[in-house]
């Protein structure tokens, strides 16, 4: 029996879909059987980020309305032999095309077959959100270190606490180290002080992420990027490993600085 994790944020554009794609990919790389589920009906993206857009035959709404069997709608990602599947959202309907109870039924069915179901939630707190959380056992809230995103995340956490699921966990996305250093961006502590939930990962702002999603290859597949390691660490924490948080500030330092540090000089 698998576990369903909803990835949500309240505010749009903070990286729910990217996070869903990369956590799903990382879990699959760890050998788990994963189904990514896009619930953003009408504005689907997850298929594009995963590079699976051209393989979609049926979608979530078709399954909900019984126009096809669940397994017919699942798109297999051939890069991860039999480990990663996508249940795409419909692009032509809207959020009211499915109900929370239909969603719960689909998620429950998927849980029989998969280890993890990663549910990509649409922005907002309306029916789309209700649909996405209906079948979930756990929630991960994504925010960026901006006041508006944190405010919306706080609202979402309040709503999630009313749902019958484990307390939500937090991913802080797109941290810009140099801005934090200058004091122009909230740091990790400020965000966790306000939201007061368990932090499951921090992801630095990385141009590679955008490049990767544009070519339909989640960054987590590239082991050399900082963001990739961050996502893989999140996946390992989901699996129950205790992995220390990444240091955000040593990436930009050159060889000379490292040498100086090695010889104990003041940097």
User: Residues comprising the binding site for ATP?
Assistant: 11-18
196, 215, 256, 267: residue in contact with another protein (rule CB under 8 A): 196
Q: Are 74 and 35 in contact (CB under 8 A)?
A: yes
The owner of tokens 């205790």 is 242
Q: Of all helices (H) and strands (E), which one includes residue 7?
A: strand 3-8
Residue 72 Cβ vs another protein, minimum distance, rounded to whole Å? 40
Which region among 126-134, 151-159, 244-252, 257-265 touches another protein (by CB under 8 A)?
A: 151-159
Q: How far apart (Å, rounded) are the C-alpha atoms in residues 237 and 176?
A: 23
Residue 10 Cβ vs another protein, minimum distance, rounded to whole Å? 9
Which region among 24-32, 61-69, 155-163, 166-174 touches another protein (by CB under 8 A)?
A: 155-163
Burial of 210 (0-12, 13-18, 19+ CB in 10 A): exposed
Q: Is residue 12 a contact residue for another protein (CB under 8 A)?
A: no
165, 194, 199, 245: residue in contact with another protein (rule CB under 8 A): 194
Total binding residues for another protein by CB under 8 A?
10
Which region among 34-42, 150-158, 163-171, 233-241 touches another protein (by CB under 8 A)?
A: 150-158
Q: How far apart (Å, rounded) are the C-alpha atoms in residues 204 and 114?
A: 30
Residue 154 Cβ vs another protein, minimum distance, rounded to whole Å? 4
Residue 194 Cβ vs another protein, minimum distance, rounded to whole Å? 6
Among 150, 129, 149, 127, residue whose Cα is nearest residue 139: 129
Q: Are 64 and 94 in contact (CB under 8 A)?
A: no
Q: Output 49 or 170, the one with its CB closest to another protein.
A: 170
Q: Output 70 or 149, the one with its CB closest to another protein.
A: 149
Q: How far is CA 116 from CA 5, 47, 119, 136, 240, in A?
A: 7, 18, 10, 11, 13
Q: Is residue 151 a contact residue for another protein (CB under 8 A)?
A: yes
Checking DSSP bridges between strand 34-38 and strand 84-87, what pairing results, if any? parallel
152, 169, 213, 233: residue in contact with another protein (rule CB under 8 A): 152
DSSP 34: E
DSSP letter string over 190-245?
HHHHHH-SEEEEEEE--HHHHHHHHTT--GGG-TTSHHHHHHHHHHHHHTT---PP
Partnered with residue 119 across adjacent β-strands are: 6, 37
Which region among 116-124, 146-154, 180-188, 217-225 touches another protein (by CB under 8 A)?
A: 146-154
Q: Of all helices (H) and strands (E), which one includes residue 75?
A: strand 75-76
The owner of tokens 């010889």 is 263
12, 31, 158, 223: residue in contact with another protein (rule CB under 8 A): 158
Residue 151 Cβ vs another protein, minimum distance, rounded to whole Å? 5
Q: Is residue 253 a contact residue for another protein (CB under 8 A)?
A: no
Residue 118 Cβ vs another protein, minimum distance, rounded to whole Å? 24
Q: Which residues bind another protein (CB under 8 A)?
A: 151-152, 154-155, 157-159, 161, 194, 196
């Amino acid at each position: 029996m698998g576990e369903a994790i909803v990835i949500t944020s309240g505010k749009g554009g903070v990286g729910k879909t990217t996070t869903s794609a990369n956590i799903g990919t990382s879990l699959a790389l760890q050998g788990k059987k994963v189904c990514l589920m896009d619930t953003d009906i009408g504005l689907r993206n997850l298929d594009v980020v995963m590079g699976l857009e051209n393989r979609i035959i049926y979608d979530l709404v078709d399954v909900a309305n019984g126009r096809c069997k669940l397994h017919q709608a699942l798109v297999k990602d051939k890069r991860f032999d039999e480990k990663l599947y996508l249940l795409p959202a419909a692009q032509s309907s809207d959020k009211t095309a499915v109900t929370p109870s239909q969603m719960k039924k689909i998620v429950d069915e998927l849980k029989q077959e998969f280890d993890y179901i990663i549910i990509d939630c649409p922005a907002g707190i309306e029916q789309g959100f209700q649909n996405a959380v209906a079948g979930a056992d756990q929630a991960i809230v994504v925010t960026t270190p901006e006041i508006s995103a944190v405010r919306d995340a706080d609202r979402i956490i309040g709503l999630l606490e009313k749902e019958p699921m484990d307390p939500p966990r937090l991913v802080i996305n797109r941290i810009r180290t140099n801005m934090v250093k200058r004091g122009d961006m909230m740091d990790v502590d400020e965000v966790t002080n306000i939201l007061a939930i368990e932090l499951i990962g921090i992801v630095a702002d990385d141009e590679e992420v955008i490049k990767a999603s544009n070519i339909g290859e989640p960054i987590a597949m590239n082991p050399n990027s900082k963001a990739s390691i961050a996502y893989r660490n999140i996946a390992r924490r989901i699996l129950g490993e205790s992995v220390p948080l990444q240091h955000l500030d040593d990436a930009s330092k050159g060889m000379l600085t490292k040498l100086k540090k090695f010889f104990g000089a003041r940097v």
